[in-house]
Amino acid sequence: MYICLCNGISDKTIRQAVRKHQPQSFQQLRKFVPVGTQCGKCVRAAREIMQDELSQIPEFKEIA
């Protein structure tokens, strides 16, 4: 499903970037995926996906 229509970013792209780079903040995620750089309507959904994906990584489950 497309999350960022302005840049054509899907939830799969966000999930892959989070798994690969494990960003600690949304700003770090934006260095790897140009999400939320235009209208900003996708920011909330992208953050939720990032948090969901980070919670699936074993080392982040212990922290959260």
Residue-range domain boundaries for the chain: 2-63
Q: State whether CATH 3.90.110.10 applies to domain 2-63.
A: no
The pLDDT of residue 39: 93
Residue 11: what residue type?
A: D
The pLDDT of residue 61: 53
The pLDDT of residue 50: 96
The pLDDT of residue 28: 96
Q: Which two tokens stand for residue 22?
A: 């494990």
| 28-56 pLDDT, tens digit each | 999 999 999 999 999 999 999 999 999 98
The pLDDT of residue 62: 52
Distance CA 41, CA 57 (A): 26
Distance CA 45, CA 7 (A): 14
pLDDT at residue 14 greater than cutoff 80: yes
**CB 4 within 8 Å of CB 35:** yes
Strand partners, 10: 2
